[in-house]
């Protein structure tokens, strides 16, 4: 099973081809238009189940797309106070709970926990009762953590570790949080030598990383270098599927 997390920076109707070339079973895509809006602008690919989308702006939200044999539906209890976080129950090719994330952190950098940290409280049972995955643009990194800040990235990571979830990238590379060598975001000028950050993550059950799984961050050139987005995809493959 392949999970892809990508912030497409809008205009997904022009970017389905490179996304599909990654052959995802499940794609968590931030900053994309609602499916009906996309359908007016392009021929939609063949989904294995209806896309699940959330957002207040029909042109810019968070979507989960399902391909091949993947099947899923929205969780029965959605916290409407947490925008751009989408709890999904995946039933095929294996059963697990997915929390798709496009974290809007700016207003809460110091004073409040921010949407993801709040979601870890609101969806605690959802994330611990079954195998769970968190995937998407978390818009955060340990390099910005400060003593006493409610938004600290490592606080969220420690909570997730307590749930039995680990960052697939960090488990595979052995790199420390905040010391990532593979950026997922080429900020501001979208240059390879400009400001770069690791902001996009896939957290999975720790046991998933022990059985032939793999993870990769896509390179700069075919994505940001080609003008597709200031973010590049993160790809996680489970072992044995």
pLDDT digits (tens, 9 = 90+) for 10-44: 999 999 999 999 999 999 999 999 999 999 999 99
What would the two tokens of residue 36 be?
């009906």
| Spatial separation of the C-alpha atoms in residues 210 and 2, rounded to whole Å | 16
Its sign, for the CA torsion 115, 2, 49, 14, is positive
> Nearest Cα to 89, choosing from 146, 49, 148, 39?
49
pTM of this prediction? 0.96
> Nearest Cα to 54, choosing from 15, 90, 92, 80?
80
CATH number for 37: 3.60.10.10
> What is Dmax (Cα atoms) for the chain?
49
Q: What is each CA distance from 71 to 94, 110, 203, 218, 238, in whole angstroms?
A: 9, 38, 20, 25, 16
| Spatial separation of the C-alpha atoms in residues 103 and 109, rounded to whole Å | 12
Number of domains making up the chain: 1
> What is the span of the domain harbouring residue 192?
2-237
Over residues 93-102, the pLDDT tens digits come to: 999 999 999 9
Q: Is the pLDDT of residue 105 over 90?
A: no
Cβ neighbors of 138 (< 8 A, separation 6 or more) are 101, 103, 116, 153, 156, 199, 200, 201
Q: Which residue has the higher pLDDT, 61 or 80?
A: 61
Q: Is the pLDDT of residue 109 over 80?
A: no
Q: Which residue has the higher pLDDT, 14 or 111?
A: 14
CA end-to-end distance (rounded Å), the chain: 6
**Cβ atoms < 10 Å from Cβ of 50:** 12
| Spatial separation of the C-alpha atoms in residues 98 and 130, rounded to whole Å | 10
What is the pLDDT at residue 85?
95
């Amino acid at each position: 099973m392949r999970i892809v997390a990508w912030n497409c920076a809008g205009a997904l109707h022009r970017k389905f081809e490179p996304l599909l070339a990654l052959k995802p079973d499940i794609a968590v895509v931030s900053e994309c238009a609602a499916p009906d809006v996309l359908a007016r602008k392009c021929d939609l690919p063949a989904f294995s189940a209806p896309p699940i989308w959330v957002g207040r702006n029909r042109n810019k939200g968070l979507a989960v797309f399902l391909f091949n044999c993947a099947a899923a539906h929205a969780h029965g209890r959605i916290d409407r106070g947490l925008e751009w976080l989408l709890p999904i129950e995946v039933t095929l090719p294996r059963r697990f709970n997915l929390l798709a994330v496009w974290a809007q952190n700016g207003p809460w950098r110091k004073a409040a926990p921010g949407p993801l940290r709040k979601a870890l409280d609101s969806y605690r049972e959802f994330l611990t009762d079954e195998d769970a995955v968190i995937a998407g643009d978390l818009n955060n990194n340990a390099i910005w953590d400060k003593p006493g800040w409610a938004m600290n990235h490592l606080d969220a990571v420690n909570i997730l570790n307590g749930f039995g979830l680990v960052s697939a990238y960090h488990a595979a590379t052995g790199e420390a949080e905040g010391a990532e060598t593979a950026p997922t975001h080429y900020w501001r000028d979208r240059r390879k030598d400009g400001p770069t950050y690791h902001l996009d993550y896939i957290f999975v059950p720790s046991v998933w990383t022990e059985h032939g799984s793999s993870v990769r961050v896509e390179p700069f050139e075919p994505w940001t270098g080609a003008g597709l987005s200031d973010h590049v995809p993160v790809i996680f493959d489970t072992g044995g599927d």
